[in-house]
């Protein structure tokens, strides 16, 4: 995981200074307002009047990253992306009036979780990185200010997925119908993660070295299935053969595992 002294919080104007100070205290990250000191850090968590954004520092032409569930491209996918006929919907088990309760145990920037919530599922996102979680929380607040999205059942827990799932099991709390896993994609031999958002996510969060263990834990918790999103080139997670598989013509597939005991 990225070391804290590589990332700082900056307010972009005086009107957001108080918010930046509160975030600095919450995340235990330094707040810096002197421009001459900023170049010493790899990432800037910038508080703007509109949103919270992550900036890759000292990288030419690098665009900021922020969670925008209201983005035009995402809105287009929700309206025209195939609805319940999408592979992710089939993999999760959305059919007719059946809309599973889903735990997204590797939330990342929340795109898949938002798609599932838009299809009617109740979704709990789990994110272990407080920095990524802060970006997600900011995106959720803006999402729920939109009257069209106030009924969406999507929430966030900032916690290690294994810890959260273990609590569900040990405390006999309500179990999810589905646990969804999208662990960090294995690197190809020729290159590292090439999408900027995935590369930055990898630098902030680190490797998902516990993904195989998380799959086994999820199988002891989910009522109906565990769904693992994988690149088409990747081996099965933990070399465990899926019970069912949906492959796209593009770059990914969905491996479905059914719990052996109820």
Determine the Cα–Cα distance for residues 97 and 167; give it in Å rounded to an integer: 29
Among 6, 34, 259, smallest CA distance to 131 is for 6
Q: What is the pLDDT of residue 210?
A: 86
In the chain, ranges of CATH 3.40.1630 domains: 4-56
Indicate whether 192 pLDDT > 50.
no
pLDDT, mean over the chain:
89
Q: Provide mean pLDDT across the span 15-31.
A: 96
Q: What is the pLDDT of residue 60?
A: 80
Q: What is the pLDDT of residue 40?
A: 81
Determine the Cα–Cα distance for residues 34 and 28; give it in Å rounded to an integer: 18
Q: Which runs of E-coded beta strand occur in the chain? A: 7-11, 43-47, 52-56, 101-104, 122-127, 154-158, 178-181, 225-231, 244-247, 252-257
Determine the Cα–Cα distance for residues 150 and 234; give it in Å rounded to an integer: 37
Would you say domain 4-56 falls under CATH 3.30.70?
A: no
CATH of domain 72-257: 3.40.50.150
Reported confidence tier of residue 30, pLDDT bands at 50, 70, 90: very high
pLDDT digits (tens, 9 = 90+) for 53-107: 999 988 888 889 999 999 888 888 887 666 788 999 999 999 988 999 999 999 9
- State what percent of residues in the chain have pLDDT above 90: 63
Q: What is the length of the chain?
A: 262
Among 169, 102, 27, smallest CA distance to 110 is for 102
Strand order in the sheet with 252-257: 154-158, 122-127, 101-104, 178-181, 225-231, 252-257, 244-247
In order, the DSSP letters of 195-246 are: SHHHHHHHHHH---TTHHHHHHHHHTT-SSEEEEEEETTSPPGGGPPPSEEE
In the chain, ranges of CATH 3.40.50.150 domains: 72-257
């Amino acid at each position: 995981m990225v070391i804290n002294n590589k990332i700082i919080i900056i307010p972009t104007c005086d009107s957001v200074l108080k918010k930046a100070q509160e975030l600095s205290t919450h995340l235990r990250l330094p707040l810096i307002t002197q421009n001459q000191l900023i170049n010493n850090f790899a990432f800037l968590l910038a508080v703007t009047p509109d949103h919270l954004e992550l900036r890759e520092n000292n990288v030419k032409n690098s665009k900021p990253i922020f969670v925008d569930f209201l983005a035009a491209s995402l809105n287009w996918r929700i309206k025209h992306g195939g609805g319940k006929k999408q592979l992710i919907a089939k993999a999760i088990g959305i059919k007719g009036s059946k809309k599973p309760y889903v735990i997204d145990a590797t939330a990342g920037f929340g795109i898949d979780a938002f798609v599932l919530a838009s299809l009617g599922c109740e979704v709990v996102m789990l994110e272990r990185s407080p920095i990524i979680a802060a970006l997600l929380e900011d995106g959720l607040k803006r999402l729920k200010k939109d009257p069209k999205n106030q009924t969406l059942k999507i929430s966030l827990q900032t916690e290690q997925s294994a810890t959260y799932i273990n609590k569900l099991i040990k405390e006999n709390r309500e179990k999810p119908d589905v646990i969804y896993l999208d662990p960090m994609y294995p690197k190809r031999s020729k290159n590292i993660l090439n999408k900027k958002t995935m590369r930055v996510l990898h630098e902030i969060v680190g490797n998902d070295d516990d993904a195989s263990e998380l799959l086994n834990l999820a199988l002891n918790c989910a009522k109906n299935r565990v769904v693992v999103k994988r690149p088409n080139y990747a081996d099965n997670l933990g070399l465990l053969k899926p019970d069912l598989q949906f492959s796209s013509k593009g770059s990914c597939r969905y491996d479905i595992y059914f719990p052996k005991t109820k």
